[in-house]
Amino acid sequence: ANVSQTSVISVVPHPAAQFSLDDNTPGVGQPVTFLNQSGGLAPLSVTWDFGDGSFSSELSPVHQYQTPGTYQIHLTVQNQYGVSEAFGTVTVGVPPVADLVVPDSIPAGESLSAQGFGDETVTRYEWYMGDGRSYEGETVNHTYTRTGDFYITLVAMNEFGGTEVGRWIRVEPGILRVYLPLIINKLGELLPDGAAAPPEQSLLPDLPDVALDQPFVLEPVALPPNSTPAEQLYIYINEARQQFGLRPLNNIPELAAAAAKHAADMGTFGFVGHTGSDGSTPAERYIQFGYGQGYAGEATAWGFEDPRAAVEFWVNSPAHRRIILNEFATDVGAGFTANVSSPNIWYWVAEFGNQFAQPPVPVLRVQQPSPGLSAMITSAVTYSWNWPAPLQPGQKFVIYLITPDEAYPAATVTQPSLGTLYSVQLAAVDFHTGQRPLQVMPGAYEWQVRLEQGGAVLTSGEQRPITFTADPDNPIITPTPDVTVTAVPPTPSPTPAVTPTPTTIWPTATPPPPQPTQPPPLVTATPNP
């Protein structure tokens, strides 16, 4: 069967006035579009009264109000069949008064603090830093990673519009940072692991400063043909030392390899600083590349195309001058990379050593997970740590899950993930002791990574608490507490097979408090340039 319905629409020719505005709260001087939405049989005549003494006969006019206030709008539409009128209001205000405060210049890599100001009508601040980054807020912090001139724009908004103000800022070549040597006592011996770092001033006698009467200028010198930028950096370091009556430093391949690695690392991953992309410290890179003498500091620079300018800047900075002009340094290695895809393009690294100081000792530094982490037994957890020395044949890292009664080996790692960083992702349900699975019950435990060889423990990382919780979507069968081994029937198969019996691990009754992380035996100096 078919069903139909008929409706009758009457179309009348009489005019019907109606309109809208593209902005009901414009600012003074802001163009406002009046959208005519009237109907009626053409031709129609249109008259607009904007309420400020101005009129228009355009269909959808654009008008600007020059004085703040509330205005009544009157639209009249007429054809041969009659007249229709529509009324509306518009409130015209003033965009906020605004300004900003930023420094004229700043070194690349240093945090910039920018402050915006505005009157009481401001509802939002928008910042555009000129390098593609933007922020919101009255005060923002930003770090430029490349040199050049950038125009910072602040837009202060209120209900009537926005006020845009801006300033130029010059970003100079990057801050140069240094690492001071290992913590040593008066006998030149390493302090024990976990010892508190002495005040920074106590290290100064070992790194005497050299006063400057005037800014240091390093004149160009004749360089060997076809010398590399790293070799030129080495030459200029010794040239600067010669001007202060210091003996030249030996160019050591192991230090040069450590410097080249860190320079390439910064250029490849676009960061600046002393911690490598693998989490390594400078002294750890000395160990990694086989420099067996004392650590005497690292200096990095970026944004300088000329090695002479980098050395000149180092010498003019008091904190860096202690490193470059250290009379106790005997060795140096220079590294350089240029990467046009990286923010600062040019990266320089100088590694300093002392043949008569005790070498740094490798330390197993635990990274993840942080103390007190809580995860479901089915969730993957990343376990990671740093170890700078190459593993010898037969050496391996073993992750242990620890209860008050026993430590259960849960996983083995023999290869680094990146550089000096070792890591593995495991869920508690995936722990195994050899071929035997561990049945981890929900609760509080501790875990530790140990370096072992032939069953002997060579060194251990810190012991950290960890809590495993049940997965509500994957319930487990809880065994009787006094039973430590649960038999698992073999899976039927055409060929008889033996299924390893899982070992059930019970948690501690009360989760232990988190233990503090022991820092590596290094102190960092970030001087003011």
The Cα 139–Cα 115 span in angstroms is 5
Q: How many CA atoms lie within 13 A of 505 on its CB side?
A: 32
More confident residue, 327 or 331: 331
Q: What residues contact 10, with CB distance under 8 A and at least 6 apart?
A: none
What pLDDT does 476 receive?
59
Highest mean pLDDT range out of 4-18, 65-79, 434-448?
A: 65-79
Query: Stretch 73-79: mean pLDDT, rounded?
Result: 94
Instruction: Give the chain's mean pLDDT.
Output: 82
Give the dihedral sign, CA 193/196/202/208.
positive
What pLDDT does 203 receive?
30
Contact status, residue 362 vs residue 517, Cβ threshold 8 Å: no
Position 498 confidence tier, pLDDT thresholds 50, 70, 90: very low
DSSP state of 285: H
Q: Which amino acid is present at 36? A: N
Intrachain domains 19-92 and 98-172 with the same fold: yes
CATH number of 19-92: 2.60.40.10
Q: What percent of the chain has pLDDT over 90?
A: 55
Question: Is 0.85 surpassed by the pTM of this model?
Answer: no
CATH number of 98-172: 2.60.40.10
Is CATH 3.40.33.10 what the domain over 229-354 is classified as, yes or no? yes
Query: Stretch 155-159: mean pLDDT, rounded?
Result: 91
Residue 493 has pLDDT above 70, yes or no: no
CA 442-447-450 angle, 5° bins: 150
Query: Stretch 66-76: mean pLDDT, rounded?
Result: 93
Residue 228 has pLDDT above 90, yes or no: yes
Q: What percent of the chain has pLDDT over 70?
A: 82
For 191-222, the pLDDT digits (tens) are 333 333 333 333 333 566 778 888 889 999 99
Query: Stretch 35-53: mean pLDDT, rounded?
Result: 92
User: 209, 212, 218, 224: which is closest to 242 by C-alpha?
Assistant: 218
CA 176-181-184 angle, 5° bins: 155
Query: Stretch 181-190: mean pLDDT, rounded?
Result: 36
DSSP 174-187: PPPEEEPPPPB-TT
The Cα 277–Cα 290 span in angstroms is 20
For 381-433, the pLDDT digits (tens) are 999 999 999 999 999 999 999 998 889 999 999 999 999 999 999 899 888 87
Structure tokens at 177: 């940072």
User: 334, 347, 346, 354: which is closest to 256 by C-alpha?
Assistant: 334
User: 110, 105, 174: which is closest to 346 by C-alpha?
Assistant: 174
User: 352, 291, 346, 363: which is closest to 326 by C-alpha?
Assistant: 352
Contact status, residue 286 vs residue 295, Cβ threshold 8 Å: yes
What pLDDT does 174 receive?
58
What pLDDT does 196 receive?
36
Contact status, residue 367 vs residue 386, Cβ threshold 8 Å: yes
The Cα 465–Cα 515 span in angstroms is 7
The domain segmentation of the chain, as residue ranges, is 19-92, 98-172, 229-354, 381-468
For 436-458, the pLDDT digits (tens) are 888 888 999 999 999 999 989 99
CA 470-471-475 angle, 5° bins: 85
Q: How many CA atoms lie within 13 A of 324 on its CB side?
A: 32
Q: How many helices (H) and strands (E) does the chain have?
A: 5, 33
In the numeric block, the tokens 């970003």 are attached to 171
User: 284, 271, 317, 289: which is closest to 177 by C-alpha?
Assistant: 317
The Cα 164–Cα 253 span in angstroms is 55
What pLDDT does 287 receive?
93
User: 160, 166, 162, 161: which is closest to 116 by C-alpha?
Assistant: 166
- Report the side by side order of strands in the sheet with 381-386: 365-368, 381-386, 421-426
Give the helix/strand (H/E) hosting 320.
Answer: helix 318-324
Residue 510 has pLDDT above 50, yes or no: no
3-state secondary structure 240-265: HHHHCCCCCCEECHHHHHHHHHHHHH
Residue 118 has pLDDT above 70, yes or no: yes
Residue 183 has pLDDT above 90, yes or no: no
